[in-house]
Each structure stands twice: as structure tokens, then as C-alpha cells.
Chains A and B, each alone.
Chain A
Amino acid sequence: MLIEARDVPNLGFNFDLYSRNDMLTKKGLKPPGYLKTGTTIVGLIYKEGVILGADTRATAGPIVADKNCEKIHYMAPNIYCCGAGTAADTEAVTDNISSQLKLHRYHTGRESRVVTALTLLKSHLFRYQGHVSAALVLGGVDLTGPHLHTIYPHGSTDTLPFATMGSGSLAAMAIFESEYREGLTRDEGVNLVTKAICSGIFNDLGSGSNVDICVIEKGKKEYLRNHLTPNPRTYISSKGYAFSKKTEVLLTKITPLKELVDVVQVGGDGMEE
């Protein structure tokens, strides 16, 4: 019954344009750069759960493309994942595995476990041999307790009490290595994560703007979007920009939009079988 349209997509990647693009590259045309998330992403385990942190800068080469993007992605009500690397890859892979987790929750009737998300992510990334360039910090709390993992683009994983990824990872790890200890309280943990992200924001050129935090405990989570904004724009002129000369217009065409008409049925029933 469905139209046999090749445009309605099947699952997975479509390699139709690969040979054309390869031909263009051989002719000397440089392939495009993708939006990267430069990034400082961190996670740590504290007394009651997991705290994830991320900066909010997205870069396209040396240009800041997005000053306030979201790098902490939702995976399940009790699991969140920070992503560094190619922005499209981190978004797509976390969205995909998040849907798979939801279907799994419907199937089993149970809360998702962090190791499930971990295995789904690492298998996906390994299958694509590192070409899906996503470096992730996965954290959550399930019935077995709090968990924190790092996942590399080729599919290897580590399980750690504190972790950093991205171009600002060295700056953030310096803070963690000097100040982390086990059994931190919530406020101490949030302050430490904020300090680590700030270290990345101010010292790494690929990271910047604001600090996002996500605190996950057993049974509840708090997503603190823009928890700290240490880089506000303070130089805006209150008068704004005054244009002395108006733009020259060659042609103007105004199209009024149609009004929506309410259809009222007068008497009688609708369609009868």
C-alpha cells in the first residue's frame, strides 16, 4: 500500500553519495569540516550518586558556531551522557541508544542499567571502527549503585571514580587529581566539577562559555543548565546600532497568509457507514 519511494529511509547509514564525493575529493576539492564540540566534559562519583559537567561551546574550525549548546544528553531518567567530538555523531549516537533503552524498558518493565547503555554504545562505536567520532562520559545511578564510564570513539571503555574527556580534559583532570577524594558531599562535588570545567573553559581554546551540571542520585536527578555563566556579554551598547542610511530595495512583494476557516457541521451526522 505504501508508495515504493526510495526516499523513505531504512535504518542505518546510506552510502549512495559516497562514490560521487570520493570522485570530487580526487579532483582536488577539499571535503567539508564538521561541527565539533572542542569541549571539556567531566564526571565524578560522590557519596550519593554521580555528577556530570560540561562546557557549552561548539566550534566549526576556529570559529565559535554555538555559544550555548547542550552537551549533556539524556539517555534514561536515571542515566545521562556527556559527548565530545563531532557534534552530529554524539547527538545521533546518544539519541539512538536512548531510544533503544526506552524500548528495552518497555520490554522488561525495569529501570535501565548504566552497563546496558555502556554496552549498547560501545558496540555501536566499535562496529564503525572509530569513524563515528564520539567520545563520551556516561554516568548514572541504577539499582546496583552509581556508575561512571568513559567511552572512546573506537569502542574501548573505562570505569572510573572521576573522568574527563575532550580537548580540555588535561586542564580538568589537573583539578580532579589534586582535589578529588572519596565520599564528597553534593555541594563539594558540584563545586569541584564547576572548578574543573572552568579550568577547561579558561585554559583550553576549544572550550568556553558556560558550565552545565547534571546531578544524578538514586530516584532523582537535577539538570542545572547554565549553572555558572562566567562569560557574559558586557560590551553591548545600550543605544543599539543606528543605521544612518536605509537599505535600498528593488522589489517588495507582500503575501497575506490565508486565514484558517472553521468548518462547522450544520445538522445531521458525519459520514455514515
Chain B
Amino acid sequence: MSIFEYNGSALVAMVGKNCFAIASDRRLGVQLQTIATDFQRIFKIHDKLFVGLSGLGSDAQTLYQRLVFRHKLYQLREERDMKPETFASLVSAMLYEKRFGPYFVQPVIAGLGEDDKPFICTMDSIGAKELAKDFVVAGTASESLYGACESMFKPDMDHEELFETISQALVSSIDRDCLSGWGGHVYIVTPTEVTERILKGRMD
């Protein structure tokens, strides 16, 4: 079994018109046994920057703690929040530093940059950035997510439609993956508010 399939995860982020959405599943398992159904995979770095970490749960939490540390240092020095592009470079550098003994994590970064322009990006476990203009996926359900997003995505959706699209893509992909599930957790971020929703899904 691959190290990424140890805990199971599904992550997706999508770009809309002046907004973005990032969503994950809620299962934490130990191979085929489920041990938690409310596991947090998406973390807030600052009001307009979220990072989702898929892969091995312990590495995800450790990496998140390190990222919060670096961002707080940055805030103290620069007296402002980090831009999403800068943050993506930071994550990439931290992962590449461990090139020959990597963190088993695939991050998905989503944020509103300058002029509230949405930014999304994903990386492999050693920091190779993939900047996309439409959607990015990560986790054990990634192959289904690629297919679902590719067909359901439309450019310039408003936040209501974006929520519906990302939720449908997430839930339908999770249903086809044994290792992710137990509902969904969706964050929709616009320049004025952050909406967090928990989705009902199949509990198997």
C-alpha cells in the first residue's frame, strides 16, 4: 500500500469570479479502519489564504504547524499578511528542502491575492508547483476528482454556483473512493466573507 493511502484524503480547490472555494472530505483512517469522521484538512493561514494538506495525517499536521510559525514570523517582520503566491513559494521551498526524505503531503493552496484576484495551486510531495487557472485536486480520490472537475467546471462562476459545483464534484468523487468520505467540508471565500459549510454524504 502506498504511504499516501494510509490515512486517505480528498481535496479540491476551484476558482470563481472574484472568489474561490476549497473543499475536503472528513475521514481519517488507519488503512481500512476509520478512526475519525470530523478530521480537519483545510487550515486558515490568514483571512484570505487557506491551505489544504492531503496525505499522511501526521505530516499534514506537522507541516501546518511549521507553516503557521513561518507566517507569524513573516507577519512580525513585514507587518502584513503573506500573499498567496509568496506562500506557495514558501511551501514549495520547505518541501524541496526535504527532497531526499520528504513529508508525505500534497498541499493545495487557495487564496485571494492582490485586488482580490483568486489564486490556487497544488504541489507534489517535494514541492513541484502546479499553478492552475481553473481547479486543482489532491488525495486518494484525485483521479475521480480530475474527471468530475473537468466536466463540471465553468469559468467565472459566482459563489453560489461555485459552491454547488465544487460540492457535487467532491461528493461524487468521494463516493467512488473507499479511503475518503464521511461528508465534506467546503469553504467559499469572497472578498467580504468566508462561508464554511459541512456537507452530508454517504457514511461508508
Contacts and interface: CB of A to CB of B under 8 A. Distances in A.
Nearest to B112: A257
A106 interface: no
B102 A35 contact: no
Contact of A13 (B97, B168, B194, B197): B97
Interface string B2-19: 111010000000000000
Contact of B1 (A8, A30, A66, A249): A30
Query: Which DSSP category, helix, strand, loop or mixed, fits chain B's interface?
Result: mixed
Given A32-B2, A241-B151, A243-B164, A257 B98 contact: no
Interface residues of B, number: 57
Contacts of A89: 99, 126
A16 interface: yes
Interface string B176-197: 0000000100000001111111
B98 A66 contact: no
A91 B129 contact: yes
A247 interface: yes
A29 B193 contact: no
B125 to A, nearest CB: 5
B143 to A, nearest CB: 6
B69 interface: yes
B127 A92 contact: yes
B96 A257 contact: no
A255 B193 CA distance: 6
A66 B127 contact: no
Contacts of B48: 257
Given A88-B99, A88-B128, 18 more contacts: A3-B73, A13-B99, A13-B100, A14-B97, A16-B101, A34-B124, A35-B123, A35-B124, A88-B126, A88-B127, A89-B99, A241-B168, A246-B164, A247-B168, A248-B199, A250-B198, A253-B196, A255-B193
Interface of A: 3, 5, 7-9, 13-22, 24, 28-32, 34-35, 58, 60, 63, 65-66, 69, 86-89, 91-92, 131-132, 240-241, 243, 246-258
